[in-house]
Structure 1
Amino acid sequence: MAGGLVALLDDVAVLARAAAASVDDIGVAAGRASVKAAGVVVDDAAVTPQYVRGLAAKRELPIIRRIAIGSLRNKLLILLPAVLLLSQFADFLLTPILMLGGCYLAYEGAEKVWGRISGHSAGHGTESEEPPDEDTIVSGAVRTDFILSAEIMVISLNEVIDQAFVARAVILAVVAVLITVVVYGFVGVIVKMDDVGLALAQRPGAAVAKLGRGLVTAMPKLLTVLTVVGTAAMLWVGGHILLVGTDELGWHGPYALVHHLEEGAHDALGAVGGVAGWLVNTLASALIGLVVGGLIVVVMTLTVHRRKGHAAAH
């Protein structure tokens, strides 16, 4: 009896160690996948603050919370099952789907560039004198986030494609929750920093008050910088997705050319060659995103936007 109990306890201990090792493996894999998706995470974090720009302070956090909930719903309820099913039964569709998302990001970025050049805002209504409807803001943000979240999930999937189905599902769920919390937590801090600065400016103490006034003065400029960074990131991420996707689908010329230029910069500049090579790849990807996005903007302007304009005129 005692021997049987000892054997049972040994089995339990073995299972516990195996479970602990599995949890460790999942944590490492989730961390690796999150790092690989960092480019799109930067894009997501840079784009989101523009949706609450110019709104009343009391509306900022509620809107961000709604966008965050919509983002998590996108990732866990729609994208996670879809990506898992595709990876299991139709993995050949992942690259084309990812490239469609890249085209959308390139279009969004190019549309914002054109709006800035032409003087007509191509954003989501943040430049309007009248505050936009909250439901419109949230739906637009969640729609854009869906594309970014799809890129994050597919990029993460590529890092764990060799895992078993259940482990793959758990890792992607962890990545989805982790990235959503980090991105929208960061965004919440950013958009409330001016309120923090105002509170500090009203406190006694010259140094604290000066810091508060500095935060209040800096926040509009920081949000403008984030908008520019978000636009650049859309073009870069979208272009890079298209560059890698065309290579995977058999058109090797563009990727080979960019890779050749990247290696040339790396070899020519010695100690800073790594940074130079990365800059070459990034600029080339952004240029591809701008060209492809610009073409889509022209097509949309001549078709969908023109029909909407005629409908509005009538």
Structure 2
Amino acid sequence: MPSGLVALLDDISVIAKAAAASVDDVGVAAMRAGTKSAGVVIDDAAVTPSYVTEFTPDRELPIIWQITKGSLRNKLLILLPAALLLSQFAPWAITPLLIVGGLFLCYEGAEKLMEKLGGEKHGETLEDPIEDIATFEKERISGAVRTDFILSAEIMAIALNEVATEPLLTRAMILALVGVVITILVYGAVALIVKMDDIGLHLTEKGRTGAGRKLGVGLLKAMPVLLAALSGIGTAAMLWVGGQIVLHGTEELGLAGPAHLVHDAQHAVEHATGSLAGVLGWLTNAGLSAVAGVILGTIIALVLHKVLKVGAH
């Protein structure tokens, strides 16, 4: 074999080994970054079903698919380039932008809470006569994609923080991988949740064993309660995630008092509760963050609707 070809093949082998090692590094880094953002991922999965639980069964999966595509656009076409540009040229801007996003989540969650408590409704809901269901569906999808944008921004920011020292191309590959995998996991779980009643019906009617048919009956009885609860869980998730984003962001900008109060309360609960420290400490942090989210979101909602008359009927 000509020596030039041998040298070329040797070079290709070296490049292939380096590429394989790089892919392994990207996979490990993506797993680390994805683990760090697990809390926001759970919140994302809790929020989304509230946008589809009130629609007829035949529209649930198409709506979830539309939201999934919107989520991928958010992460890959908007947030990924923005995160890379900001991390490269204006890293100081990331925290203020996240705080703005957190305030938006607080506002959305507080507005939903005010409506559930009997306050004035802003925008059309399924409790009202809907003249154009297609338009209403598009509005709900748009609302879900807007909320996803904020949660996705937080996920990407957490992932970016974990790989900030990596080269630009590696950062891009890791963030893209995290974005795609998390989107598939979140909306796959959401699809499973909202279609669980159909699975129950199938087991009830066509289950081959008595245990299978009993499981189907149990799912049918449980799912209406679960789907109704998801709306409340989604609202709570908006509030505690939004509150946490704002508290963490303001702490990074030098206003550490509110965040320290929450951390001190969490640590006090953890020290007093022994084996339940992890769970009760997290609940304390989430609860106080939600309280902060309610306060901030209510202020924003009142300013928008009562002072500026935005969305007023």
Instruction: Provide the TM-score with structure 2 as the length reference.
Output: 0.90
Contact 2:270–2:280 (8 Å) recurs in 1: yes
Q: Cα RMSD (Å) of the superposition? A: 2.3
Contact 1:53–1:126 (8 Å) recurs in 2: no
Match of 2:184 in 1: 181
Q: Aligned to 2:171, which of 155, 168, 171?
A: 168
Displacement of 1:221 in angstroms is 1.0
- Looking at structure 2, the residues matched to 111 and 308 of structure 1 have their Cα atoms a distance apart, in angstroms, of 12
Match of 2:279 in 1: 275
Between 189-198 and 121-130, the greater mean CA deviation after superposition:
121-130
Between 77-86 and 199-208, the greater mean CA deviation after superposition:
199-208
Match of 2:230 in 1: 226
Displacement of 1:143 in angstroms is 1.8
Displacement of 1:274 in angstroms is 3.4
Match of 1:102 in 2: 102
Match of 1:117 in 2: 117
1:20-63 deviations in whole A, cap 9, x for unaligned?
A: 22111111111111122222212221122222223222111111
Q: Aligned to 2:259, which of 231, 255, 258?
A: 255
Between 249-258 and 87-96, the greater mean CA deviation after superposition:
249-258
Match of 1:55 in 2: 55
Match of 1:153 in 2: 156
- Looking at structure 2, the residues matched to 95 and 202 of structure 1 have their Cα atoms a distance apart, in angstroms, of 53
Between 39-48 and 172-181, the greater mean CA deviation after superposition:
39-48
Match of 1:135 in 2: 138
Displacement of 1:75 in angstroms is 1.0
Match of 1:43 in 2: 43
1:222-269 deviations in whole A, cap 9, x for unaligned?
A: 112222221121111111111111111011222222222333333333
Contact 2:305–2:311 (8 Å) recurs in 1: no
Q: 1:118 aligns to what SS in structure 2? A: coil
Displacement of 1:2 in angstroms is 6.6
Match of 2:18 in 1: 18
Displacement of 1:123 in angstroms is 8.1
- Looking at structure 2, the residues matched to 152 and 126 of structure 1 have their Cα atoms a distance apart, in angstroms, of 31
Pair 1:208-2:212 in alignment: yes
Change (3 A) 1:269 1:57: closer
Contact 2:105–2:239 (8 Å) recurs in 1: yes
1:197-229 deviations in whole A, cap 9, x for unaligned?
A: 122222265433332222122111111222222
- Looking at structure 2, the residues matched to 134 and 255 of structure 1 have their Cα atoms a distance apart, in angstroms, of 38
Change (3 A) 1:217 1:61: same
Displacement of 1:303 in angstroms is 3.4
Partner AA of 2:270 in structure 1: H
Unaligned runs of 5+ in 2: none
- Looking at structure 2, the residues matched to 271 and 212 of structure 1 have their Cα atoms a distance apart, in angstroms, of 36
Q: Aligned to 1:297, which of 277, 291, 301?
A: 301
Change (3 A) 1:163 1:55: same
Change (3 A) 1:307 1:252: closer
Contact 1:51–1:141 (8 Å) recurs in 2: yes
Change (3 A) 1:86 1:45: same
- Looking at structure 2, the residues matched to 292 and 89 of structure 1 have their Cα atoms a distance apart, in angstroms, of 31
Q: 2:255 aligns to what SS in structure 1? A: coil
Contact 2:122–2:311 (8 Å) recurs in 1: no
Change (3 A) 1:174 1:116: same
Displacement of 1:87 in angstroms is 0.8
* Percentage identity across paired residues of the two chains: 56
Contact 2:40–2:151 (8 Å) recurs in 1: yes
Displacement of 1:118 in angstroms is 1.6
Change (3 A) 1:46 1:239: same
1:142-187 deviations in whole A, cap 9, x for unaligned?
A: 1222222212211211111111111111111111111111111111
- Looking at structure 1, the residues matched to 127 and 92 of structure 2 have their Cα atoms a distance apart, in angstroms, of 41
Q: Alignment length, in residue pairs? A: 309
Displacement of 1:191 in angstroms is 1.3
- Looking at structure 1, the residues matched to 83 and 253 of structure 2 have their Cα atoms a distance apart, in angstroms, of 19
- Looking at structure 1, the residues matched to 119 and 24 of structure 2 have their Cα atoms a distance apart, in angstroms, of 52
Displacement of 1:8 in angstroms is 4.7
Query: Which aligned pairs between 1:300-311 and structure 2 lie closer than 5 A?
Result: 300-304=304-308, 306=309, 308-309=311-312
Displacement of 1:82 in angstroms is 1.0
